[in-house]
Amino acid sequence: MTNENHVPTDEELIAQLDGALAAYEPLPDAALQTAYAAFAMGGLDDLLAELIYDSLAPAGAVLVRGAETEARLLTFRNDSLTVDLTLAADGETVLGEVLPAGPALVTIETRDGTTTEVEIDDFGRFRGAGAGVIRLRVPGLLVTPWISRNGSDET
Amino acid sequence: MTPSTVIQPGGSAEDRYADLVATYPGLVRRALERDESAWRQLVDSLSGVVWKTVNSFDLPQSDREDAYSSTFFKLFEHLSSIQEPRKLPGWLATTARNEARTICRKRQRQTPVADLVLADVNSAALDEAMLDDELTRATLTAFSTLSARDQNLLRLATAVPPISHKEIAELLDMPLGSVGPTMGRALSKLRAAMHGYRTGGTS
Amino acid at B103: I
A21–B155 CB contact, under 8 Å? yes
Chain B residues close to A24, C-beta within 8 Å: 121, 126, 129, 131, 136, 140
A20–B139 CB contact, under 8 Å? yes
Residue A155 clears pLDDT 50, i.e. is over it: no
Q: How confident is the model at residue B10 (pLDDT cuts 50, 70, 90)?
A: very low
Q: Find the residue in A nearest to B196 (Cα).
A: A4
Chain B residues close to A116, C-beta within 8 Å: none
- Find, among B32, B99, B112, the residue nearest to B59 by Cα: B99
For chain A, the residues whose C-beta falls within 8 A of a C-beta of chain B are 4, 7-11, 13-21, 23-25, 27-28, 30-32, 34-36, 38-44, 46-47, 103-105, 107, 115, 117, 139-141
A25–B9 CB contact, under 8 Å? no
User: What confidence score (pLDDT) does residue A69 get?
Assistant: 66
B34–A117 CB contact, under 8 Å? yes
Chain-wide mean pLDDT for chain B?
86
B43–A36 CB contact, under 8 Å? yes
Question: What pTM does this model have?
Answer: 0.66
Neighbours of B12 (CB within 10 A): 10
Neighbours of A59 (CB within 10 A): 9
Q: pLDDT (tens digit, 9 = 90+) per residue, A85-109?
A: 999 989 899 999 999 998 888 989 8
A14: nearest CB among B5, B43, B51: B5
Mutate which of B70, B83, B156, B158 to disrupt the A interface (most A C-beta within 10 Å)?
B158
The rounded distance, in Å, linking the Cα atoms of A16 and A98 is: 51
Chain centroid to Cα B97, Å, comes to 10
Yes or no: say if A143 and B80 are a contact pair by the CB < 8 Å rule.
no
CB-based burial, A13-36: b 16+ in 10 Å, e otherwise: bbbbbbbbbbbbbebeeebbebbb
Chain B residues close to A32, C-beta within 8 Å: 1, 43, 47
Concatenating the DSSP letter of every residue in A65-134 gives TGGGTS-EEEEEE-SS-EEEEEE-TTSSEEEEEEESS---EEEEEETTS-EEEEE--TTSEEEEE--SSE
Q: Give the Cα-Cα-Cα angle B55, B44, B170 (nearest 5 degrees).
A: 40
Q: Find the residue in A nearest to B184 (Cα).
A: A10
B14-39 mean pLDDT:
89
A18–B8 CB contact, under 8 Å? no
Residues contacting residue A77 through CB under 8 Å, at least 6 positions apart: A49, A50, A52, A83
Cβ pairs A/B, distance under 8 A: 131
Q: How confident is the model at residue A13 (pLDDT cuts 50, 70, 90)?
A: very high
Residue B4 clears pLDDT 60, i.e. is over it: no
Phi, psi of A42 (to 5 degrees): 70, 30
Chain A residues close to B73, C-beta within 8 Å: 35, 38, 41, 43-44
Q: pLDDT (tens digit, 9 = 90+) per residue, B118-144?
A: 999 988 888 888 788 888 999 999 999
Q: How confident is the model at residue A45 (pLDDT cuts 50, 70, 90)?
A: low
B136: nearest CB among A11, A19, A105: A19
Q: Does ipTM come in above 0.90? A: no
The rounded distance, in Å, linking the Cα atoms of B190 and B199 is: 14
B65–A140 CB contact, under 8 Å? no
A21–B158 CB contact, under 8 Å? yes
